[in-house]
A and B are shown apart, each in its own frame.
Chain A
Amino acid sequence: MTDNPTNTPEEMDGDRRDFLLISTTTLGVAGVAMAAWPFIHSINPAKDVLALASTEVDLSAVEVGQAITVMWRGKPVFIRHRTAEEIQSAEKVDVGELRDPQTDADRVQKPEWLIAVGVCTHLGCIPSGQSLGDNRGEYGGWFCPCHGSVYDTSGRIRKGPAPFNLAVPPYTFTDDTTIMIG
């Protein structure tokens, strides 16, 4: 533009005004966008909510074959003390025929303890199978009453509409009989 020798003073002023308008608008939009962040972030989990994001569980009272459900981040976590047969049936499955292929070893830290988030990966219901009288489905794991998803003793999806295995939460054994979830 500036190399055009026919520019009149009005046109030069026009450029200057365009520059001022565009830079002012840019600054204004950037300012509003930055001011919006505290509002957006304020409805993210607060510090007191995050402080409750891990749960400690004592496993010493859970007998072989028994299962307990604990609350972690507002959701149930299934902890099953698996029997030797349950471990065996989970390990001998051909990974190739699974919908969400994962070996049992990938899903546990100690084979006798299966720890998984008890939320069906279909639409969020809680599968049955924690109590002995419950319907555990044909693979001896869990059965979701909402839409009929069937999980095996490793919490892997075997039948029904759910797309994924029951999620394994991050956890560590703080000693032989205590875990920290989250």
Chain B
Amino acid sequence: MKRTQSSNRLVQWIDDRLPIFSYADQNVIAYPTPKNLNYWWNYGSIAGIILVIMLVTGIFLAMNYQPNADIAFASVERIVRDVNYGWLLRYLHMNGATMFFIVVYIHMFRGLYFGSYKAPREILWMVGVTIYVAMMATAFMGYVLPWGQMSFWGATVITNLFSAIPVIGDYIVVWIWGGFSVDLPTINRFFVWHYLLPMILVMLVVVHLWALHVHKSSNPLGIDIKTPQDMMPFHPFYTIKDLYGLGLFMIVYLFFVFFYPNFFGEADNYIPANPMVTPPHILPEWYFLPFYAILRAIPDKLGGVIVMFSGVLILYVLPWLDTSKVRSATFRPVFKQLFWIFVADCLFLGWLGARPADGIYLWLGRAATFYYFFHFMVLLPLVGKLEKPKPLPSSIYEEVAKKCRAKED
């Protein structure tokens, strides 16, 4: 362990016993980062900051929220109407969830495009997928808490997915509910999980960063760091770049918070939960729509649930499905096109998830679902073998220098 560079005696004394200063220096200040990171590398830090915003707004919302089926809906309305700045806390939290998913999806597609999941960063990627799964569980349970119609029926539909499990499915669902329907015990335990899971999420993020700092960030060229010339200290170069990106992101986020706070929500969720009436158009939050489309594409209860969960879990084995040794799509002409087709397929699935589940939409959903898995299970392994990648640059430093010279000319 390196000693701290500070000449302050107190800093040295503390650092000798608890090396927080040298740790911060190695991991934040002098932390070596590839010189050529572009703005797609901003989304990791933005995601981390939204997580903090979600935690802080969530903690303060919890101080006024009542996890009781009889008064939960009224307590959320009280937060918005009576609690000082309660409307701000709630809309920051609601829209924060949406922004969290947008940012994490961009972060994930960044990884897909630039091959960030490849050796030696497989575990880093898998921890990231786990974070994503934990996020989905947290978001789902959070959506149940306001106890509107969409909350109630979303909870009913999603928990009923587990009834597809053969033999013990019905018992599992009753166990999850703590009763014979989504009711008082359900909202109480969902509140506990919604509060607990983010703490686990924070720990997963620490593990994610731990793994990241072993082999450092990947980069747009996808080639390894070879010499110190390939790198820059994280501070001030990337702290400033991250802050700039954060500023732009906050403008978008706060635009929705202040002007269109319910843009991403469903009007039906302002109707108190009614176990006797299902709303005519029941659909999940937008960030679940692609998986919802996959679920509905399969004409079998158990099959649909299995395929839907596979759609997420297949990401865990992605590092071994992609057989190409070249990381960045920049040097993979065929993969690059397939990547954008895959992005389009995901967006298309999302669009289909919000359409009614019959007629032409059903068949389009099946085609898009088929292609989703075809991309992972057939195209990725084959293209890696058949494609002829472009020649890779010899070093990050040379490419950066070449670009600088081109700019000067």
Give the B-binding residues of A (Cβ under 8 A): 38-39, 41-44, 46-49
Contact = CB atoms under 8 A, between A and B. Distances in A.
A41 B78 contact: no
Interface in B55-96: 56-57, 60, 63-64, 78, 81-86, 88-89
**Interface-centre pick from B64, B84, B85, B89 (highest chain A CB count, 10 A):** B84
Given A39-B56, A39-B60, A46 B82 contact: yes
A44 B84 contact: yes
B233 to A, nearest CB: 16
**Interface-centre pick from A41, A44, A46, A49 (highest chain B CB count, 10 A):** A46
Interface residues of B, number: 14
Contacts, number: 35
Contacts of B63: 42-43
Contact of B78 (A39, A43, A44, A46): A46
B84 A41 contact: yes
B38 to A, nearest CB: 23
Contact of B82 (A41, A43, A48): A48
Given A39-B89, A41-B84, A49-B82, 4 more contacts: A43-B60, A46-B64, A46-B82, A47-B82
A43 B56 CA distance: 13
A42 B60 contact: yes
Nearest 10 pairs of A and B residues by beta carbon? A38-B85, A47-B82, A48-B82, A46-B82, A46-B83, A41-B84, A42-B85, A38-B88, A42-B84, A39-B60
Contacts of A44: 84
B236 to A, nearest CB: 9
Nearest to A50: B82
6 contacts: A41-B84, A42-B64, A42-B84, A44-B84, A48-B82, A49-B82
Contacts of B86: 42, 46
Nearest to A41: B84
Nearest to A39: B60
Contacts of B82: 46-49
Interface string B101-129: 00000000000000000000000000000
A126 B11 CA distance: 52
Contacts of B89: 38-39, 42
Contacts of A48: 78, 82
A12 to B, nearest CB: 19
A41 B85 contact: yes
A116 B88 CA distance: 39
B238 to A, nearest CB: 15
Contacts of A47: 81-84
A41 B83 CA distance: 9
Interface in B22-61: 56-57, 60
A176 to B, nearest CB: 35
A136 to B, nearest CB: 41
A42 B86 CA distance: 6
Nearest to A28: B243
A46 B63 CA distance: 12
A94 B86 CA distance: 52
A39 B81 CA distance: 15
Interface string B136-155: 00000000000000000000
Nearest to B85: A38
A42 to B, nearest CB: 5
A32 to B, nearest CB: 11
Contacts of A39: 56-57, 60, 85, 89
A144 B42 CA distance: 64
Contacts of B83: 42, 46-47
A39 B56 CA distance: 9
A35 B406 CA distance: 43
Contacts of A41: 84-85
